[in-house]
């Protein structure tokens, strides 16, 4: 079994594009929340989201023809290019068959599907754009990464909704541990789209302007978007090329309770934490920080907080939710959580939960790192990701030893 390390990070987010901007955004508690521009939000009571208005794929990508790809695929490919560049990975000298890509998503190319639906309603099948039909399949997200980087290893898109990036990291981790690959690019991507905004509003889970995880007055999510990618390598491969190592992937856990289509299940979430910790070879008292799923809905935050207490008892480490800054980036969410966690380990800080004002007496054991980043020594960190349908996935990272 090979040890697995993180050597490159590629965030494309509303609080910063690239490692330096994203780190600065985390440290300063920057917010991506702003009026929606991706679609006409007229008629919706809520009009804000966490978009990435600074995204210019032509400035980041080297091989893909921009017009051939949907926005989510471009997010994935751009994040992967940034991660590989950050890793200093010499792709030209590495066997491309030993390098693969795994990308998680919730909505895939739903903005493209929305366009095709409008064309179908307006003019029938003949009116549907051939170019858009080519862009629509969700599996093109991982294909975009492989095509942009010239990879020939496994190329997989996982659609386990809002925990999909953690599933992707776990999948990549297994390939590396077992020696089936030397390097993997893993993460997630999603775009702000009308159907997700409408769906979360109809569920009563959408807030107006500010996501407030773990606050007494929290009222829901803001939809968000972006691409998150991590370069994972076997420790031997990274050391042989003299790579800088951010952190080690200690392990992961996944389960699915199928308890309810949208409601989280406390026992299942707690069980997933124990699975991840067992797989990583750590105990609850070893964990210094938890990057929570932390959507800002009353139900999720209460369930997650109770599950944390069930696992950690009276010693609950500090937690925070970067969704307060980014919005809910869907399939990319736990990928951004993994990047933030890795940066916290590397640079010795805890990202804040912004917009927090009032402690919730039902969550009295939770320290949400309110509003301001905190200096801390982080040796082991847990990154939570949960999804509709009971799809839970948690990754564990540690300082390299």
197 belongs to the catalytic site: no
Q: Could you give phi then psi for residue 286, rounded to 5 degrees?
A: -80, -20
Closest CA to 142 of 107, 98, 180, 186: 186
CA distance 149 to 153: 11
| DSSP assignment letter at 376 | -
Enumerate the H helices of 103-187 as residue ranges. 110-123, 130-135, 140-149, 164-177
2, 162, 197, 237: the active-site residue: 162
Residue 75 neighbours by CB under 8 Å, 6+ apart: 12, 52, 55, 189, 190, 191, 225, 226, 227, 332
Q: 3-class SS at 209?
A: coil
237 has catalytic annotation: no
Q: Provide CB contacts within 8 A for 288, sequence distance 6+.
A: 317, 318, 376, 377, 378, 379, 380, 381
Question: Alpha-carbon distance 14 to 35, whole Å?
Answer: 13
15/76 Cα distance (integer angstroms): 17
Catalytic residue among 2, 197, 237, 328: 328
193 as an active site residue: the answer is: no
Judged on CB neighbours under 10 Å (0-12, 13-18, 19+), 174 is middle
φ/ψ region of 220 (left if φ > 0, alpha if ψ in -120 to 50, else beta) reads: left
The secondary element (H helix, E strand) that includes residue 21 is: helix 19-28
Cβ neighbours of 68 (radius 10 Å)? 14
Complete DSSP assignment for 223-290: BB-EEEEEEEEEHHHHHHTT----EEEEEEEEEE----SS---HHHHHHHHHHHHHHHT--GGG--EE
Q: Please name which of 170, 152, 150 lies closest in space to residue 160, comparing C-alpha atoms.
A: 170
- Distance of alpha carbon 207 from the chain centroid: 20
3-state helix, strand, coil in the chain (%, to 5): 40, 20, 35
Question: Which residue among the candidates 2, 272, 293, 303 is catalytic per the annotation?
Answer: 293
Separation of first and last alpha carbons in the chain? 17
The set of catalytic residues is: 162, 293, 328
């Amino acid at each position: 079994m090979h040890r697995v390390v993180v050597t490159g990070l590629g965030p494309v987010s509303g609080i910063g594009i690239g490692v330096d901007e994203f780190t600065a955004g985390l440290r300063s508690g920057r917010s991506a929340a702003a009026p929606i521009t991706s679609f006409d939000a007229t008629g919706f009571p809520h009009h804000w989201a966490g978009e990435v208005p600074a995204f210019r794929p032509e400035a980041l990508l080297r091989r893909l023809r921009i017009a051939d790809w949907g926005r989510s695929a471009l997010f994935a490919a751009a994040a992967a290019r940034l991660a590989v560049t950050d890793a200093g990975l010499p792709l030209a000298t590495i066997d491309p068959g030993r390098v693969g890509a795994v990308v998680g998503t919730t909505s895939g190319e739903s903005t493209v599907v929305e366009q095709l639906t409008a064309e179908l309603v307006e003019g029938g099948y003949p009116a549907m754009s051939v170019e858009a039909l080519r862009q629509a399949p969700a599996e093109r997200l991982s294909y975009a990464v492989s095509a942009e980087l010239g990879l020939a290893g496994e190329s997989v898109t996982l659609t386990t909704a809002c925990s999909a990036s953690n599933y992707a990291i776990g999948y990549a981790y297994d390939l590396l541990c077992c020696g089936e690959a030397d390097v993997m690019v893993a993460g997630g991507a999603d775009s702000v789209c009308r159907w997700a905004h409408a769906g979360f509003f109809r569920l009563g889970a959408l807030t107006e302007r500010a996501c407030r995880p773990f606050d007494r007055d929290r009222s829901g999510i803001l939809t968000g978007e972006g691409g998150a990618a991590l370069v994972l390598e076997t420790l031997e491969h990274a050391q042989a090329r003299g790579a800088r190592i951010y952190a080690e992937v200690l392990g992961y856990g996944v389960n699915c309770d199928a308890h309810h289509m949208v409601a989280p299940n406390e026992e299942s979430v707690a069980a997933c934490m124990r699975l991840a910790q067992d797989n990583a070879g750590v105990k609850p008292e070893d964990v210094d920080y938890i990057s929570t799923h932390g959507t800002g809905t009353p139900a999720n935050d209460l369930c997650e907080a109770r599950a944390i207490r069930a696992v950690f008892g009276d010693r609950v480490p500090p937690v925070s939710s970067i969704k307060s800054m980014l919005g809910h980036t869907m399939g990319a969410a736990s990928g951004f959580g993994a990047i933030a966690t890795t940066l916290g380990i590397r640079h010795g800080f805890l990202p804040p939960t912004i917009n927090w004002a009032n402690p919730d007496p039902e969550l009295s054991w939770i320290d949400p790192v309110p509003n301001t980043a905190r200096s801390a020594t982080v040796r082991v960190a847990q990154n939570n990701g949960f999804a509709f349908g009971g799809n839970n996935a948690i990754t564990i990272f540690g300082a390299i030893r």
